[in-house]
Amino acid sequence: MNLLVGATGFVGGHVVEYLFQQGEISKGVFRKGSHLKIMDANGVQGLEADLLDHHSLHEAMEDIEVVYNMASPMPDSDSDFQKSNTEGLLNLLEVATESKVKAFVHLSTIDIYGFGAKVIDATTPINPSDEYQRSKAEAERLLAEFSKRNATPRVAVIRSAKAVGSRDESLVIPILRMIGDGKVVLPPSDAMSFSHPKDIGQAMYKAATGQAPTGSSYLVKSFDATPGDLARAIIASTGKEAEIKGQGMFSSSSLSKYTSNQLKACPRMGDQDSWKGLGYSPAYTLKSTSDEIANWYKKEPWVAEGA
């Protein structure tokens, strides 16, 4: 049985769906006040727990063989990402060890390389440039130290490019809202790498069930595109009309500061040699991602049109 930590988040919800499609049985940890619709629809048993509460984690870890850790509040949220990414992670690893969990797969981000690296590969040095990135890099350091001291659980890290897909509140929903206003304003950016969250789910699943050696890490993406390309594809898939403009002196984007900085940095990775060993092959393209976003938007337009 799997334990999905962060199962009610944007990426977590898609990983829930991906694992359900693989026939996996899972429990999902959620925080008080979370929406459980996706977990309920995919047969996931929900358990309220706190990463800083050992007792609640022990209950959640019962009968678990694989932990998928996706718990990481975004820097623009009200949650304490510092504690979640460090103290919470250490608690989770401690309880997983005590419970004899076999594999622990952690979701990280290519943001740990900072916003200065344009092309990212296995040789790119980790160089976080703000507090959020530093907390994610620190999480990876803690995992590396743990894997050196402990043979089990087997640890693997997935470093994902910017995640985009249905229900994404950082980039997709703002783009849909701007499309509704007839004008999409984006900061200047070259082509960058994006990951569909179900491709992230595939990579995490492969790392958990394959032969990934403990302490290993993998760079994961689905496709490369400019943010303008993404907006144009969503416009085409939704059948709407909107003008795409660059952010300038007299126009501003509705994107958060952190997301704007991600787009301006335009980090891009090449296909990775490690994908073959992992068994990872991205299933999503720019077109299939925009079509998925459009299909979701047609079913629940109020999500993007709300204030």
CATH number at residue 49: 3.40.50.720
Residue 291 has pLDDT above 50, yes or no: yes
Q: How confident is the model at residue 28 (pLDDT cuts 50, 70, 90)?
A: confident
Please tell me the predicted confidence (pLDDT) of residue 250: 57
Six token digits for residue 135: 């907390």
Please tell me the predicted confidence (pLDDT) of residue 253: 72
Inside any domain, residue 228: no
Please tell me the predicted confidence (pLDDT) of residue 66: 97
pLDDT digit string, tens, across residues 159-204 = 999 999 999 999 999 999 999 999 999 998 999 999 999 999 999 9
If one compares 169 and 47, the residue with the highest pLDDT of the two is 169
Inside any domain, residue 76: yes
Q: Is 233 exposed, middle or buried (0-12, 13-18, 19+ CB in 10 A)?
A: buried
Pairing of strands 223-225, 192-195: antiparallel
Q: How confident is the model at residue 307 (pLDDT cuts 50, 70, 90)?
A: very low
Which letter, b or e, does each residue of 160-181 get, where b requires 16 or more Cβ atoms within 10 Å of its Cβ? bbbbbbbbbbbbbbbbbebbee
Alpha-carbon distance 7 to 71, whole Å?
A: 8
Please tell me the predicted confidence (pLDDT) of residue 107: 97
Containing structural domain, residue 8: 2-164+194-222+267-280
- Counting every residue, how long is the chain? 307
Query: In 10 A of CB 289, how many CB atoms?
Result: 27
Please tell me the predicted confidence (pLDDT) of residue 302: 74
Query: Mean of the per-residue pLDDT values for the chain?
Result: 90
Inside any domain, residue 288: no
Please tell me the predicted confidence (pLDDT) of residue 33: 47
Inside any domain, residue 255: no
pLDDT digit string, tens, across residues 128-146 = 999 999 999 999 999 999 9
Which letter, b or e, does each residue of 113-137 get, where b requires 16 or more Cβ atoms within 10 Å of its Cβ? bbbebeebeeebebebbeebbbbbb
Residue 24 has pLDDT above 80, yes or no: yes
Q: How confident is the model at residue 301 (pLDDT cuts 50, 70, 90)?
A: confident
Cβ atoms of 68 and 2 within 8 Å: the answer is: yes
Please tell me the predicted confidence (pLDDT) of residue 35: 59
Alpha-carbon distance 50 to 64, whole Å?
A: 17
Inside any domain, residue 109: yes
Q: What is the tally of structural domains in the chain?
A: 1
Cβ atoms of 196 and 167 within 8 Å: the answer is: no
Query: In 10 A of CB 268, how many CB atoms?
Result: 19
Please tell me the predicted confidence (pLDDT) of residue 297: 94
Give the chain as a 3 state SS string.
CEEEECCCCHHHHHHHHHHHHCCCCEEEEECCCCCCHHHHHCCCEEEECCCCCHHHHHHHCCCCCEEEECCCCCCCCCCCHHHHHHHHHHHHHHHHHHCCCCEEEEEEEHHHHCCCCCEECCCCCCCCCCHHHHHHHHHHHHHHHHHHHCCCCEEEEEEECEECCCCCCCCHHHHHHHHHHCEEEECCCCCEEEECHHHHHHHHHHHHHCCCCCCEEEEECCEEECHHHHHHHHHHHHCCCCEEEECECCECCCCCHHHHHHHHHCCEECCCCHHHHHCCCCCCCHHHHHHHHHHHHHHCHHHHHCC
Please tell me the predicted confidence (pLDDT) of residue 17: 92
Inside any domain, residue 299: no
Residue 32 has pLDDT above 60, yes or no: no
Inside any domain, residue 201: yes
Inside any domain, residue 257: no
pTM of the model: 0.93
Alpha-carbon distance 121 to 138, whole Å?
A: 20
Please tell me the predicted confidence (pLDDT) of residue 251: 62
Q: What residues contact 145, with CB distance under 8 A and at least 6 apart?
A: none
Q: How far out from the chain centre does Cα 263 lie?
A: 16
